[in-house]
Amino acid sequence: MADLATAPLVYSFTDHRVYRRESPLVIAEGDGIRIRDTAGKEYIDALSGLWHANLGFSDAELIEAATSAYARLPAFACALGRSSAESESLAHELLAASGGHFTSVYFAASGSEAVESVLKFLWLASNANGTPSRKLVVTRDSGFHGTTLGAASLAGITNQHAGFDLPLPFTVRVPRVHFYRDHLDGETEDEYIDRILRTTRRRIVAAGPENVAAMVAEPVMAAGGVLVPPDGYWPAMARLLDDLGIPLVSDEVVCGFGRLGHLFGYQRFGLRPAAVTVAKGITAGYAPLGAVLLGADLTDSVAAAAEKYGVLGHGSTYGGHPVAAAVARANLRAFHERGTQHRVAELEASLRASLESLLDLPVVGEVRCVGGLAAVELMADGAARRPFDPERRIGRRVAARAREFGLIVRDLGDVLALCPPLITSVSEVSEIVSRLHKAITATLEEKA
């Protein structure tokens, strides 16, 4: 590949030192859960593009929805007191699907925009409510919330900050939840949860709960390693936030629209967030769209602020684009009509059963699975929780080997992330895990 200065694309989330030496993977077409590159080689995409192609790559209903919408109204904005019929209908349908838990919807064009928007709404509400000190946001180590300035500041992943003069100083950083890696020897799950919650409380109290606007958190951390919380974590965290008077914003850019089985990720854990951010799966990746679903309190505060300042000085030209909204409506219908919740339960069971076979490999320390999200944690010694030397880049090498075997996974350090389309069959899951097993064993047979 050419040097970055002459290359046609700047690749996000990419080590460009590697891509100066290797040719990028360029995809020409897709069908179901399989994609083909420009040389005709076929791959199973076990990452759903970038956590978003929930219905695979050739869903006729979503394609028809987009085609028809383009013929009716190819462009319009949700701004200046105007909207399209598709975006208006989608907002009503989303609110109905939430069971009345939310009262308004703001449309953005991406997950990063959705998170950035909810941050601005929180600060706007604090000013409108006469509590201007409430500007801090609680966020967790290893969290990922987008790449715009505010959203990236929430991140607990250091490579999102390096060189960007980030994070901006409005966060209260608290521990992630990763029992396998972080528990003390002999510590039970309940003891581990108690310990990290005590640390969380201490850090919030030190910052002053009266200065905190909200906690922003993913129900299950995706890019941070597919970190599945122990059963007692979210109930304990919800009690802590209630005790301190801090609302929760559930960031479901990855976890929403069936990825955890339920339509919304917070439903899997019995949470009651003040707002939810969504993107990716809202259109199954077939069109760019993000959204913020706002509860009554935040809706009223934003409305009061717009009245106080004369205008809501925030917006997005492409948020709620009529074609994207039409695709999202078709996707929402598909979720209910195709029995997606039941299908994801079957996918979760088959993923867990197949991946657990990898535990026979001494370098696999843990496998994690919830809904259609999964991860394989690689360790030099899995039983002893002894990691590989980072310089060996085992995860990256396994992902590269997997690609040779016709499988796309994502390496998050020495964690291999899987997020297969929700339409993946039991036999296809077996094929995914078989190819991954080959990739791991082939990598370990290499020198160094």
Give me Rg for the CA atoms of the chain: 22
Domains of the chain: 16-58+339-444 (3.90.1150.10), 63-337 (3.40.640.10)
**What is the rounded distance in angstroms from the CA atom of residue 375 to the CA atom of residue 227?**
8
Q: How far is the CA of 93 from the CAs of 73, 90, 325, in angstroms?
A: 20, 5, 11
**What is the rounded distance in angstroms from the CA atom of residue 386 to the CA atom of residue 393?**
15
Q: State residue 5's pLDDT score.
A: 52
Sheet holding 290-294, edge to edge: 104-108, 290-294, 275-278, 248-251, 212-217, 136-140, 171-174
Is pLDDT above 90 for 53?
yes
Which residue, among 248, 251, 247, 316, has the nearest Cα to 278 in the 3D structure? 251
Beta bridge partners of 216: 249
Is pLDDT above 80 for 327?
yes
Q: State residue 383's pLDDT score.
A: 86
**What are 180's two structure tokens?**
């396998």
β-strands 171-174, 136-140: how paired?
parallel
pLDDT tens digit sequence for 174-205: 999 999 999 999 999 999 999 999 999 999 99
The single-letter code of the amino acid at 95 is L
Tell me the torsion sign for CA atoms 182, 188, 189, 191: negative
Is pLDDT above 90 for 24?
no
Contact 380, 386 (CB under 8 A): yes
Stretch 272-284: mean pLDDT: 97
Confidence category of residue 11, pLDDT binned at 50, 70, 90: confident
Confidence category of residue 405, pLDDT binned at 50, 70, 90: very high
**Range scoring the smallest mean pLDDT among 1-10, 159-168, 176-185, 391-400:** 1-10
| Length of the chain measured in residues | 448
**Unique residue bearing structure tokens 């991954």:** 436
Stretch 8-33: mean pLDDT: 79
**Unique residue bearing structure tokens 């995809």:** 27
pLDDT tens digit sequence for 203-242: 999 999 999 999 999 999 999 999 999 999 999 999 999 9
**What is the rounded distance in angstroms from the CA atom of residue 268 to the CA atom of residue 286?**
25
**Unique residue bearing structure tokens 């521990």:** 175
Q: Which residues contact residue 299 at a Cβ distance below 8 angstroms, ignoring those fewer than 6 apart?
A: 102, 103, 104
User: Has this prediction a pTM greater than 0.85?
Assistant: yes
- Beta strand spans in 393-433 (E): 407-408, 410-412, 415-418
**What are 318's two structure tokens?**
């492409």
Average pLDDT value over all residues in the chain: 94
Which residue, among 34, 105, 54, 75, has the nearest Cα to 338 in the 3D structure? 54
Q: Which helix (H) or strand (E) holds 282?
A: none
Is pLDDT above 50 for 1?
no
